[in-house]
Structure 1
Amino acid sequence: MPESSAVAPKGPWMHPSPHLTRLDAFRRSINRKYGLNLTNYTQLHKWSVDEIESFCREIWTFCGMVYTKPPTAIAVGIESMWPRPRWFPDARLNYTENVLIKGLAAHPDAVAVSACREAGTRWRHLTWMELRRQVTLYSSALRQAGVKQGDRVATVATNSIESLLVLLAAGAVGAIFSSTAPDMGAKGIIERYSQIQPKVLFLESTILYGGKTQDQQEKLKMAVGELKKRVKQLERVVVMTGPAWDDTGVIHLNDFLNVDLLPLEFTQLPFDHPIYILYSSGTTGPPKCICHAGGAALLQQKKDLILGADLGEDSTYYQYTTIGWMMWNMLVAALSIGSRIVLYDGSPLHPSPAFQVQLLEQQGVTHWGTSPKFLTALRHSLPDALPQLQSLQLAVVSGSPLPTETSDWFYSVFPKQVALQSSSGGTDLAAGIVGGNPIVPLHGPQLAAPTLGMQVEIWDQDGRNIEDSGQKGDLVITKPAYFDVFPGIWCHGDFISKDLKTQSYVIHGRSDGVLNPGGVRFGTADLYNVVHKFPQVEDCIAVGQRRPEDNDERVLLFLKMSGNTRLEDSLRIDIAKAIREDLSGRHVPALMFQVRDIPYTSNGKKIENLVRAIVCGEKVRVGGTAINPECLEEYEHYLHLPLVEEKAKL
């Protein structure tokens, strides 16, 4: 067993040498240039939002954006955040050039990308020079396929070197990339790509997941057939792994790449020219396209990685993710810092969660991105001893709130030098909003501070800032921000509060999943934190039920039990007692039920809004959101429960 943290799990984790971090170097540079005396992160953050134009100028410089034509201003229209200001007008740059240039200059023969298939099989490594040569090949193939600036290039693929190369090649020619993971159903693929009208579509007809080879060919044939009807410019369908099938325009990757090499040219584009399209969940209608500007997304990500995570050219970053989640785009952005990245394709639970820790040791990972769900699985399956993990500096968890039990466990078993940052960001931003950084105390599962340049506040339903009250409300960004829940204000959708003692943040769940029985609003994460203490329960999901005939909302708690355990009344009573003691009597669910499975997205997020819609009798669109949509049918049985005013039995 490695030496456990010298800091008690309940106490804060502190960086041993904050003055050596890049964030503190940035603070000192601001003090020198502007004649200031900013002594801590709170003061630096306040300056970054009060002087947003100066801050953005300094971030552009400090993060090392590469361009052929400089901007003529920092922003135009910054005094009114909607319509969106024009950031860095008249600058000309290229996303892919920025991704490659630092590593090529710093260590061209060092490994830039390492990738493996499930359980650490089929390792492949590309040096920076090899990566550049492959981008040259892929961009040559795209150009000779007629792909030009503004065209869309889409993938249904795994987290592989090939997927990375398609993105970088598309970026080089000025095309717009879009991706979805191979577990997406035909309907989800069609819904997304019929909107963006791709010119070339890259697929994998065979994948490996959970130790099993899966044939995707029939699903993909269906999706491609329908897309060809809806997308007239879809000219090439390229099968990257697995067999191709006999159809017009369908070819194998080897044939697609059998072209004459053209010189690698980086099309110079405006700062706001799109680089990739991500998607909303699609639970309230067709998934909505979220188009990210190449310069804007990369600068935000570089800021988060360099200042928030202290990533450098000697770092190795591994984020478990599919290519359909914004964290994959964040992982790719680490290349722009000169860092090495690790790509993993397959289930993180196969052959066991402990293998992921072995991977960290074997690959010398310094920065690890994971999820609360995975850490919970690791906690229940970890052998007696961890590897030494001498390289690991930071673990960042995202995707859902981190339970206190899991945070305490992490600090008790991982080496004391490893920080655990809990963070929250969004697909809409492709960047972080609140999270940790190396010069602030990290208090267990709490989110330490807002990221630089973002004025984060907590608002109640009436649009009043309540962050200094300790009450729970909506996470909003008032500078720089836009959108529509509160006029002129970005409402992120997290239900959050501020711990007045630590000055850190606590996420209680999603705002659209807030429970409201008897007019008392609280988040689902509060309940999950308590339920996680019961080893008999493998997983759970809580939703509010209020049908048209109900006079009030009640909370339903669905429990997936461990192994062959049954949900007995005695356990219901124990759970209710623990919730009453840890939270209050008003937090106790009206009813608890055992279910076979909990619905999740491919990003590891519980789909509370779908379950809530089902039990409330609302029309549900599953689309391609859930990785296990078959489990949703079970929840339909709970639509016809007794009316809320009839006192329910526990």
Structure 2
Amino acid sequence: MWPRPEWFPEARLNYTENVLATGLASSPNAIAISACREGGTDWRHLSWKDLRQSVEECASGLRNLGVRKGDRVAVVMTNCIEAVVILLAAGSLGAIFSSTAPDMGRQGIVERFLQIKPKLIFMESKVLYAAKHIDLRSVYSQAIAELREKVPELSKTVVINGPTWDITDVISWAAFLNCRVVPLTFEQVSFNHPIYILYSSGTTGAPKCIVHAGGAALLQHKKEQMLHSNMTIGSVYYGYTTTGWMMWNYLVSALALGTRIVLYDGSPLHPSPTSQLDIVDEQGVTHWGTSPKYLAALKQRLTTIIPKLDTLLYCTVSGSPLSSEICDWFYKTFPSRIGLFSGSGGTDIVGGIVGANVITAVHNGELAAASLGMKVEIWDHEGHNIEDSGEKGDLVITKPFFTMPVSFWGKSGEEKYREAYFDQYPERRVWCYEILGRSDGVLNPGGVRFGTAEIYGILDHFAEVEDCIAVGQRRKTDPDEQVLLFLKLKDSLKLDKSLKQRICNAIRRDLSARHVPQHIRQVADIPYTRNGKKIENMVKAIVSGQALKVGQSAANPECLDEYKQFTNLPFGAAAGSKL
């Protein structure tokens, strides 16, 4: 697996050509993309024929500004039709696309684009989120000014939606498109030629730039969507995501099947969590992608009967482990004919490792199957396969697969690539990944390793708990690790001894005494990445007294200060006794 092998070295293809081909051939006048703003407002629908025309016009604009094969085209945009069009237009030329969401902030934008040095940047200067109109011109102008000083390749900034600002090289979308339209052609490139650059979480520093091949992404996504999820011509796929998450790239690839995709921009909880279900129902969605975090919010706030959802066949959840409690609730609330599938994969491979299988039964709390073509095993720390033992270990992939990244972009990219995936078992050269929570977030008190997801599943049963995070604390003077559990409670509730004891009793009963945290504390908020993942490793570092730099992928970094007060908690108490 290392160094990375080259797949199909003689093949030549174009990602965009493949994405458009099936829909154009089967039903050019049918809807390819439906898009709306927050709460299901401002719907727009684009046919396959119109999508091709939009890509042709955008590709002409890119050519007019000098974009060629291998150039980087970056966007800071919401999940809208224009973002899809820019990706496909860049891909048609053999250019490399990269995206991030508008909530990233100045530093986050600069951290990412300074590394990849784009020729063009597309932005939306005004966005809507949680019923608030947000003007981002000040943030963007600072970011662009900094990038312009350090990236001589950057020629223009194009503002898609909202007003521009007074700089010569900032133009409107209309001005960008105001050029001679050149007939759309598709640059034939190698299977391993990059189509886009994605980013690691960047929670503790500058994110790594993960380069993915167009042929690899196309083949991996079609394999999963067709064979694992039964997606096809006539299917309708809606997955809530932002342009800063790999699920957006995954959503776009479904067009290659002739599937209609639904785009949503805004808060998934506004005006209420059930508005997402209304979209699924009204748009005839067959495949719905969401997260355990959203389902938990829906469970807490659902006060009415859900829509009939007559067309919905499958619901896939990703982003964090799906607890048995949420799974039970889902099948008490939703029609039992709907397949509920949890999966694990991510940005690193822009796809799945384990996930859906529509020809087997759904089992509570279990992932259905390893993805086809993925040689997945479970190893202990000595590199022995323990998948049939019932013991916990690390998920590894032992044979090459299509969407191993082409490289990490930039200086020392090859070294960062090796360190990220292959240093856990350097002699065996296998890809080490994460499954029960993150491997770097696994709890290990007294040498007993278990995942945070096990504790979170217990907490799902407590109506008082709005959110939680569990981490291991081990300071320089500690002989071992102890587990800390932090709770965010609902409705201004206060954590008392009775609730703590009930939580400890439940963990001890359903898991074991070893799983019971040494300390349980109430906090005002739980830190998340902008993609909705708990930042366990950062909280662990803080409570262990480590100094670290907070990256721009944290959605609510201000809450991290609260955790500094817990660095001096006593060590060595019996499990659960120090409440």
- TM-score, normalised to structure 1, is 0.84
- 2:540 matched residue in structure 1: 612
- 1:645 Cα shift? 6.8
Whether 2:352 is the aligned partner of 1:432: answer: yes
- 1:530 matched residue in structure 2: 458
Measure, in 2, the Cα distance between the counterparts of 1:490 and 1:127. Answer: 44
Whether 2:509 is the aligned partner of 1:589: answer: no
Whether the 8 Å CA contact 1:474–1:491 is kept in 2: the answer is no
Whether the 8 Å CA contact 2:422–2:432 is kept in 1: the answer is no
Match of 1:353 among 261, 273, 292: 273
Whether the 8 Å CA contact 2:424–2:432 is kept in 1: the answer is no
Whether the 8 Å CA contact 2:205–2:550 is kept in 1: the answer is no
Secondary structure of residue in 2 paired with 1:635: helix
Secondary structure of residue in 2 paired with 1:172: helix
Whether 2:563 is the aligned partner of 1:635: answer: yes
Measure, in 2, the Cα distance between the counterparts of 1:215 and 1:480. Answer: 45
- 2:473 matched residue in structure 1: 545
Whether the 8 Å CA contact 2:482–2:571 is kept in 1: the answer is no
- 1:492 Cα shift? 4.2
Whether the 8 Å CA contact 1:421–1:436 is kept in 2: the answer is yes
Whether the 8 Å CA contact 1:158–1:182 is kept in 2: the answer is yes
Letter in 1 for 2:437: G
1:335-414 correspondence runs (5 A): 335-414=255-334
Secondary structure of residue in 1 paired with 2:224: helix
- 1:328 matched residue in structure 2: 248
- 2:408 matched residue in structure 1: none
Measure, in 1, the Cα distance between the counterparts of 2:446 and 2:432. Answer: 25
- 1:113 Cα shift? 0.1
Whether the 8 Å CA contact 1:436–1:442 is kept in 2: the answer is no
Measure, in 2, the Cα distance between the counterparts of 1:239 and 1:404. Answer: 45
- 1:483 Cα shift? 2.9
Whether the 8 Å CA contact 2:5–2:400 is kept in 1: the answer is no
Whether 2:161 is the aligned partner of 1:221: answer: no
**TM-superposition CA deviations, 1:20-66 (whole Å, max 9, x none):** xxxxxxxxxxxxxxxxxxxxxxxxxxxxxxxxxxxxxxxxxxxxxxx
Query: Taking structure 1 as reference, are residues 517 and 359 closer, same or farther at Cα in structure 2, changes over 3 Å only?
Result: same
Whether 2:422 is the aligned partner of 1:483: answer: yes
Whether the 8 Å CA contact 1:550–1:645 is kept in 2: the answer is no
Measure, in 2, the Cα distance between the counterparts of 1:443 and 1:643. Answer: 39
**TM-superposition CA deviations, 1:66-98 (whole Å, max 9, x none):** xxxxxxxxxxxxxxx322222111211100000
Letter in 2 for 1:568: D
Secondary structure of residue in 1 paired with 2:198: strand
- 1:643 Cα shift? 4.2
Q: For structure 1, which segment, 105-114 or 427-436, has the greater mean C-alpha deviation from structure 2 after superposition?
A: 427-436
Match of 2:153 among 216, 221, 233: 233
Letter in 2 for 1:203: M
Measure, in 1, the Cα distance between the counterparts of 2:539 and 2:15. Answer: 40
Whether 2:8 is the aligned partner of 1:88: answer: yes
Query: Taking structure 1 as reference, are residues 115 and 272 closer, same or farther at Cα in structure 2, changes over 3 Å only?
Result: same
Whether the 8 Å CA contact 1:302–1:336 is kept in 2: the answer is yes
Measure, in 2, the Cα distance between the counterparts of 1:577 and 1:361. Answer: 41
Whether the 8 Å CA contact 1:109–1:129 is kept in 2: the answer is yes
- 2:445 matched residue in structure 1: 517
- 1:197 matched residue in structure 2: 117
- 1:376 Cα shift? 0.7
Whether the 8 Å CA contact 1:476–1:489 is kept in 2: the answer is no
- 2:52 matched residue in structure 1: 132
Secondary structure of residue in 2 paired with 1:527: helix
- 1:471 matched residue in structure 2: 391
Whether 2:132 is the aligned partner of 1:212: answer: yes
- 1:555 matched residue in structure 2: 483
Whether 2:92 is the aligned partner of 1:153: answer: no
- 1:418 matched residue in structure 2: 338
**TM-superposition CA deviations, 1:266-308 (whole Å, max 9, x none):** 1111110000000111234321110000001110010000001
Secondary structure of residue in 1 paired with 2:303: coil
Measure, in 1, the Cα distance between the counterparts of 2:433 and 2:534. Answer: 15
Whether 2:373 is the aligned partner of 1:453: answer: yes
Measure, in 1, the Cα distance between the counterparts of 2:197 and 2:501. Answer: 47
Secondary structure of residue in 1 paired with 2:103: coil
- 1:572 matched residue in structure 2: 500
Whether 2:36 is the aligned partner of 1:116: answer: yes
Letter in 2 for 1:104: L
- 1:489 Cα shift? 4.0
- TM-score, normalised to structure 2, is 0.94
Secondary structure of residue in 2 paired with 1:640: coil
- 1:308 matched residue in structure 2: 228
Letter in 2 for 1:107: S
Structure 2: 5+ residue stretches without partners: 402-420
Whether the 8 Å CA contact 1:549–1:643 is kept in 2: the answer is no
- 1:171 matched residue in structure 2: 91
Letter in 2 for 1:611: V
- 1:195 Cα shift? 0.4
1:55-70 correspondence runs (5 A): none
- 2:414 matched residue in structure 1: none
Whether the 8 Å CA contact 2:518–2:573 is kept in 1: the answer is no
- 1:443 Cα shift? 0.6
Whether the 8 Å CA contact 1:190–1:226 is kept in 2: the answer is yes
Letter in 1 for 2:423: D
Whether 2:554 is the aligned partner of 1:626: answer: yes
- 1:346 Cα shift? 0.5
Secondary structure of residue in 2 paired with 1:278: strand
Secondary structure of residue in 2 paired with 1:420: strand
Whether the 8 Å CA contact 1:552–1:645 is kept in 2: the answer is no
- 2:186 matched residue in structure 1: 266
- 1:526 Cα shift? 0.5
Measure, in 1, the Cα distance between the counterparts of 2:143 and 2:7. Answer: 38
Measure, in 1, the Cα distance between the counterparts of 2:308 and 2:74. Answer: 40
- 1:640 Cα shift? 2.5
Letter in 1 for 2:348: D
Whether 2:528 is the aligned partner of 1:600: answer: yes
Secondary structure of residue in 1 paired with 2:388: helix
Query: Taking structure 1 as reference, are residues 490 and 412 closer, same or farther at Cα in structure 2, changes over 3 Å only?
Result: farther
- 1:493 matched residue in structure 2: 433
**TM-superposition CA deviations, 1:609-634 (whole Å, max 9, x none):** 01111111112222111111111111
Letter in 1 for 2:265: D
**TM-superposition CA deviations, 1:160-192 (whole Å, max 9, x none):** 001111101100111000000111021111111
**TM-superposition CA deviations, 1:401-460 (whole Å, max 9, x none):** 001010011111211221001111121111111112111222123101111111110011
Measure, in 2, the Cα distance between the counterparts of 1:83 and 1:521. Answer: 31
- 1:244 Cα shift? 0.7
Secondary structure of residue in 2 paired with 1:296: helix
Match of 1:318 among 238, 255, 277: 238
Whether the 8 Å CA contact 2:203–2:529 is kept in 1: the answer is no
Measure, in 1, the Cα distance between the counterparts of 2:429 and 2:370. Answer: 16
Match of 1:286 among 178, 194, 206: 206
- 1:649 matched residue in structure 2: 578
- 1:153 Cα shift? 0.3
- 1:479 Cα shift? 1.5
Measure, in 1, the Cα distance between the counterparts of 2:385 and 2:514. Answer: 25
Whether 2:101 is the aligned partner of 1:181: answer: yes
- 1:66 matched residue in structure 2: none
- 1:592 Cα shift? 0.7
Measure, in 1, the Cα distance between the counterparts of 2:195 and 2:368. Answer: 31
Secondary structure of residue in 2 paired with 1:119: coil
Structure 1: 5+ residue stretches without partners: 1-80, 496-507
Secondary structure of residue in 2 paired with 1:179: strand
